[in-house]
Amino acid sequence: MTEAKKTPLLDDLEKGPWPSFVTEMKKAAANNLSAQDLLGQLELSYEDKKAHWKHGGLVGVMGYGGGVIGRYSDVPEQFPNVEHFHTVRINQPSGWYYNTKALRQVCDVWEKYGSGLTNLHGSTGDLVLLGTKTEHIQTIFDEVSSFEEHPMDLGGSGSNLRTPSCCAGPARCEFALFDTTDLCHELTNEFQDYLHRPMWPYKSKIKISGCPNDCVASIARSDFSFQGTWRDDIKIDQEAVRAYAEGGFDIQGLVIDKCPTKCMSFDGSELKIDNANCTRCMHCINKMCKALRPGDDRGATILIGGKAPILQGAMMGWVIVPFMKIEPPYEEVKEFLEKCWEWWDENGKTRERIGELILRLGMRNFLRAIEREPIPQMVVAPRANPFFFWWPEETVQD
């Protein structure tokens, strides 16, 4: 062991009530040289107020084009044990449900070949193993992928399908309107090739939420956002509604008056909902979950285009499919995704997300390519300018 470096700036972050990442790193550093050097390099970054990683890095395993993010220190003389500090993305189980066996065996591998530091989880969802050397990457992959029980595969990185993720779903949420965990698992398996071998203009993400509460933030952080919804009536247990009222819950003030479409009323004994005008925002159900339940005709709304600012500005997904039934074997979902990807792959420029491509070529081209009719639900408001294009066949030549 090299002598532990002094880290006064980082030590400050061990104070206070929140669990300290510095304390965690020190625990790992007790038995691991690269965790120790990482603390040292981080302290240096705190002093210099800048990162000490070199630009880029390209490493991987045989047969895959992604899954590992190469990283090299720019001060390797000072911190030789983080000269290589690659990140391995492991595809998480749907909804992040583990048993201890699964976690123990990945920890065993990681203690042997890595820094012992992890990120549970990366924001896309992967189980992230932080910091290893190039020569260990293939071994780590070979070992985690051949566990007898709960073998694990790499997640996505690069211009490919990134690891899909989903909310906790019906495993423990009564709002879940379809089996998010199953769809997530099924799509991950179906599209393994797209996930492991980058072939597209840029990254593409899928996130799956069981209801419009959108607990995986799919609308903001995925190109393809699935949100559970229903199209029949909200189920009302009037007895339970009255129990809320009797318990002193202000139904009028906290539910009726907050309804965005004002489609509810409560006369003190009976709650009424004009379902035709309900936009399924979830507020009343969230507030009175013992009395109200989503309807029985269930499926999902699919929104497209969510992305961070680069290049054309941040976007949230917008509605392309207001309602689709989501049932195994999910043929309709898969077909829909394939059509979207095909059009994007054919037309997209290098590093152009699908949302930006739709912006560039227009919804009419996109919808025609995926064979869908434009419908009012796709827009917040009709266009405010008259610069409208017609398809040639729609015009009459004199």
Partner 1 sequence: MAFIEVAGQQIEVDEDGFLLNPDTWTEDVAKYFSKEEGIDELTEDHWKVIKYLRDYFFQFGIAPMVRKLCKDTGFSLKGIYELFPTGPAKGACKLAGLPKPTGCV
Q: Which residue has the tokens 């210099």?
A: 48
- Least separation, in Å, of the C-beta of 38 and partner 1? 18
CB 153 within 8 A of CB 106: no
Residue 372 DSSP code? -
Which residue in the set 70, 80, 93, 295 belongs to the binding site for partner 1 (CB under 8 A)? Answer: 70
Angle value at C-alpha 245, between 266 and 173, nearest 5 degrees: 95
* CB of 339 closer than 8 Å to CB of 393: no
Report whether the peptide linkage leading into residue 283 is cis, meaning its omega lies within 30 degrees of zero: no
Q: Which of residues 348-367 bind partner 1 (CB under 8 A)?
A: 350-351
End-to-end CA distance of the chain: give it in Å, rounded. Answer: 87
**Per CB under 8 A, does 80 bind partner 1?**
no
DSSP state of 152: -
**Torsion 129-134-139-141 (CA) sign:** positive
What is the H or E stretch that residue 271 is in?
Answer: strand 271-273
Q: Taking CB under 8 A as the rule, does residue 60 contact partner 1?
A: yes
CB-nearer residue toward partner 1: 119 or 277: 119
Query: What is the C-alpha radius of gyration for the chain, rounded to an integer number of angstroms?
Result: 25
Residue closer to partner 1 (CB basis): 66 or 306: 66
The minimum distance between CB 131 and partner 1, in angstroms, equals: 15
Binding span for partner 1 by CB under 8 A among 65-73, 233-241, 272-280, 365-373? 65-73
The strand ranges marked E within 144-240 are 165-166, 206-209, 224-230, 235-236
String marking each residue 222-261 x if it binds partner 1 according to CB under 8 A = ----------------------------------------
Assess 197 for contact with partner 1 (CB under 8 A). Answer: yes
Provide, rounded to whole angstroms, the least separation between the CB of residue 138 and partner 1. 10
The rounded distance, in Å, linking the Cα atoms of 116 and 255 is 48
Residue 66 touches partner 1, criterion: CB under 8 A: yes
Q: In this complex, which beta carbon is closest to partner 1, that of residue 57 or of residue 322?
A: 57
Taking the complex as a whole, how short is the minimal distance between the CB of residue 355 and partner 1, in angstroms? 16
In the bound state with partner 1, the residue whose beta carbon lies nearer, of 181 and 204, is 204
Residues whose CB is less than 8 angstroms from the CB of residue 348 and which lie 6 or more positions away in sequence, other chains included = 200, 201, 202, 354, 357
Q: Does 203 bind partner 1 (CB under 8 A)?
A: yes
Q: Does 198 engage in binding with partner 1 (CB under 8 A)?
A: yes
346 lines the binding site for partner 1 (CB under 8 A): yes
Give the binding site for partner 1 (CB under 8 A).
54-66, 69-70, 72, 84, 157-159, 193, 197-201, 203, 345-346, 350-351
